[in-house]
Amino acid sequence: MDEETYQKYKKLARGSWGKEFSLLKMMFNGFLGLMREEEDMEFELPMETILNILLNIGKARKQGRKIIMYPFNYGPELFVTMGLQPLMQEIFSVGLAPFHMNEPYLDFSNEIGYGDNPTLCNASRPLVGAYMQGAAPVPDYLFFLSTPCNSLAMNYQVFESLSNVPTYNMDVPYWAIEEDSEFYDGKVVEYMTNQCKDFVTWLEDQTKEKFEIEKFQQTMLRLNQARENIRDFNETLKNVPCPAGSQTGFWNWFFMSTIGGTQEAVDVTKFVRDSAIENVKEGVGGIEDEKLRIAWPYTHVFFDRDLFPWLEETYGAIAILDILGNYQVEPHNTSTLEKCYDSLARGTLDYSMIGSCRGPAEYYIEYVINYVKDYKVDCVIYPMQYACKHAFAMARITSEAVREATGIPSLIFGCDPYDSREVPHEAIQAKIAEFIEQVVL
């Protein structure tokens, strides 16, 4: 990042963000420091967009915007339409992990007896400990879904009960929406659409603001333009060499989960897509000398900022997407109000980590097999967390199915992507190195 931009954001962040956002401000400064070291000017727009997202949350109270908190597996389209400030909760509880600032709250949650790594996911568990120490943001409204796991739903329920924030909960059904699926159920989309409409009524009641249909339609139009950009970007990654680095796709998911439905999201996803297309035209890879392509059908190891750069530099290995960055919601027709609701419902059902995890294991198995085939990968790596019981179980049977269908090997290892002390960086590197050197190469 150039010095002028760095100074601009340093200035913008000045002043108090209030006690509940003081950790967010520290995180902002942490990211700003990392971006200052980043010399790749090509990524100035995504970097600035990330900083703007954090700034908008931190300044929302002072600027009189009501805040709604929600989990990472949902898009903010309705909140954008209602003029609410979206706060994807994991910006806080996971965003702290690269700087290890979440760990004191994990320790405090342990001390008070609120779960541990094998029982409750540390992606959201720090929220409870931080709230009890007065360090967590307290939104005006809370929203969460029944998926992708009990762990998340439990952490959010506990937060709801502690904070007494008005809350809406959405039930995400199990069955498939593709008519050719053996798990197809024709009532699923209607069930979701009705919940979306009910949620709109709830939001109107709570905020005393009217839901403007025209604004909703514009939001959905922009949302689907961004989906189109991401679909095209994902398509470019099928090229060899892969035209984007290991973490680029993740940012697409991040933008959809924090500013989906805004013009900023359209612009930044278009920018990411166009950069990848340009690289394909010029035969340029996301890393210098690509030798190995990895499917990563789980989350990043968030505490370990060096893992992907190490893989890239040591083995010429590129991780093609991850379970979040592998955003698979297709663009939809939004020409009528009903179609907008339909698109909203389908987007919720197909969202990253929901589409592949909300039903029988077959969804996940099919997802990983297609991932391996579409992106011509050489191996699959699952850095599995103990609390993520359903995914741990699915990873084992999926790895066997993948080997049977494609002959590609998998590595599954236990670690906590949010806690550097559980399985440290060195141990993770050693496991991956052994797998690559002994099995893949």
Could you list the residues that contact ligand SF4 (CB under 6 A)?
A: 121, 123, 148-149, 151-152, 299, 385, 387-388, 391
**Based on CB atoms, which residue is closest to ligand SF4, 148 or 241?**
148
Minimum distance from residue 257 beta carbon to ligand SF4 (Å): 13
Minimum distance from residue 321 beta carbon to ligand SF4 (Å): 16
Minimum distance from residue 35 beta carbon to ligand SF4 (Å): 26
**Based on CB atoms, which residue is closest to ligand SF4, 137 or 417?**
417
**Based on CB atoms, which residue is closest to ligand SF4, 72 or 371?**
72
Minimum distance from residue 140 beta carbon to ligand SF4 (Å): 23
Please, is 374 exposed, middle or buried when counting C-beta atoms within 10 Å of its C-beta (0-12, 13-18, 19+)?
Answer: middle
Q: Is 18 left (phi over 0), alpha (psi -120 to 50) or beta?
A: left
**Based on CB atoms, which residue is closest to ligand SF4, 321 or 388?**
388
**Which amino acid does the sequence have at 75?**
G
Buried b (16+ CB within 10 A) or exposed e, 25-34: bebbeebbee
**Based on CB atoms, which residue is closest to ligand SF4, 192 or 323?**
323
**Based on CB atoms, which residue is closest to ligand SF4, 73 or 85?**
73
Minimum distance from residue 388 beta carbon to ligand SF4 (Å): 3
Minimum distance from residue 385 beta carbon to ligand SF4 (Å): 6
Is 370 in contact with 404 (CB distance < 8 Å)? no
Cβ neighbors of 25 (< 8 A, separation 6 or more) are 13, 17, 58
Q: Of all helices (H) and strands (E), which one includes residue 154?
A: helix 150-163
Determine the Cα–Cα distance for residues 118 and 223; give it in Å rounded to an integer.
36
Task: Tell me the β-bridge partners of 317.
Answer: 292
Q: Is 100 left (phi over 0), alpha (psi -120 to 50) or beta?
A: left
Per the structure block, which two tokens stand in for 282?
């010029």
**Based on CB atoms, which residue is closest to ligand SF4, 197 or 396?**
396
Q: Is 101 left (phi over 0), alpha (psi -120 to 50) or beta?
A: alpha
Give the CA count within 13 Å in the CB-facing half-sphere of 243: 21
Minimum distance from residue 149 beta carbon to ligand SF4 (Å): 3
Minimum distance from residue 302 beta carbon to ligand SF4 (Å): 10
**Based on CB atoms, which residue is closest to ligand SF4, 149 or 377?**
149
- For tokens 């994990």, what's the residue? 106
Per the structure block, which two tokens stand in for 149?
């796991």
How, if at all, do strands 141-145 and 410-414 pair? unpaired
Cβ neighbors of 309 (< 8 A, separation 6 or more) are none
